[in-house]
Amino acid sequence: MATRFRRTVTAATAPSAAATGAARQAQSGSTTAAAEVSELTRTFDGRPVLDGVDLRIEAGEFVALLGRSGSGKSTLLRILAGLDRDAEGAVEVPVPVMVAFQEPRLLPWKRVGANVALGLDAPDPAAAAAEALGEVGLGGHLDAWPVTLSGGEAQRASLARALVREPGLLLLDEPFGALDALTRISMHDLVLRLWRRHRPGVLLVTHDVDEALLLADRVLVLAEGRIAHEQHIGLDRPRPRDHEALARSRADLLTALGVDPIGST
C-alpha cells in the first residue's frame, strides 16, 4: 500500500455547529489545505485510471469534479476518503473526512436520529443528531424509520450524518443523481447553505456541468487519468443559470469533456 495518508487535523467536538462554522470562516485566509494529493496513481489490471494526479483543495473551498464515466472521479474520491489504499503517491487529508453517496445508505433497522448519531463522539450524540436534522429541515423525523423518507429526505439525513461530525473535508459522490429536478434544485440550495455555515472543504463528483457551475468555486475536468482542465467561477451565489459568464464557462467545460457545446444546447 504505497499511498501515504498523513492525517493533519485531529477530530474535535465543537461547542456548536455555528461556532465551528464561524471559526473556520475566520480562518479561510490561511494556507491550510482541506486536501492535497501529489503524483497520485491508481491502476486496475495494469491500466492506469489515475496517472500522476496533483490536486489541492483549500480549506473552505467548494470544488466540483467532472469527467466521463470511467475517468476515475469516484476512484479519486474513494482514495481521499481512505476507502481505497492501493494507490501510489502522497495524500494529505484532515480528520474527519465524511462522504455522502448517491444512495443515502441509512441503516434501515435504526431510526433516523440513531442513524445520524451512530458512532458520534459527542457529549450528547442524540442532541447533536437532533440539531443536525433540524439544520436540514428534518427536525420532526428524529424517530422516523428510513423507509418512510422520500428520496430527498433520505439525502438530507445523509448530509446531516456527515456534517454533524464537522468534517474538514466533505466528499459528495453524485448525491443528487437519483433525485427529480425540483428536489435537486432545493438540495442545491440546502448544500450551499450548509457549506456557508460549516465551511468544510468540499469535493463534489458530478456528471452535471450546470450543477458544477452553480455550486462550485472551481470546476475540474478529469480525463486520461489527470486533471485536464480547470475553471474558476468568480461569480457570487446564488448564480442565475442564464448568466453570460456561466454560458462561456459551460462551453469551455463541455469542450474539455469532448462534447460539442453548440450541439448540447
What confidence category does residue 263 fall into, taking pLDDT thresholds of 50, 70 and 90? low
What would the pLDDT profile of 31-54 be if each residue is shown by its tens digit?
589 999 999 999 998 899 999 999
pTM as predicted: 0.86
pLDDT score for 146: 97
Task: State the CATH class of domain 4-106+149-256.
Answer: alpha beta
Contact 152, 179 (CB under 8 A): yes
What mean pLDDT is predicted for residues 217-235? 96
Closest CA to 207 of 262, 265, 257: 257
What mean pLDDT is predicted for residues 230-246? 93
pLDDT at 19 over 90: no
pLDDT score for 85: 87
Residue ranges of the domains in the chain?
4-106+149-256
DSSP string for the chain: ---EEEE-S-----S-HHHHHHHHHHTTTS--EEEEEEEEEEEETTEEEEEEEEEEEETT-EEEEE--TTSSHHHHHHHHTTS----EEEEEE-S-EEEEESS----TTS-HHHHHHTT--SSSHHHHHHHHHHHTT-GGGTT--GGGS-HHHHHHHHHHHHHTT--SEEEEESTTTTS-HHHHHHHHHHHHHHHHHH--EEEEE-S-HHHHHHH-SEEEEEETTEEEEEEE---PSS--TT-HHHHHHHHHHHHHTT--TTTT-
Average pLDDT, the chain: 87
- How far is it, in rounded angstroms, from Cα 47 to Cα 50? 9
What mean pLDDT is predicted for residues 70-91? 93
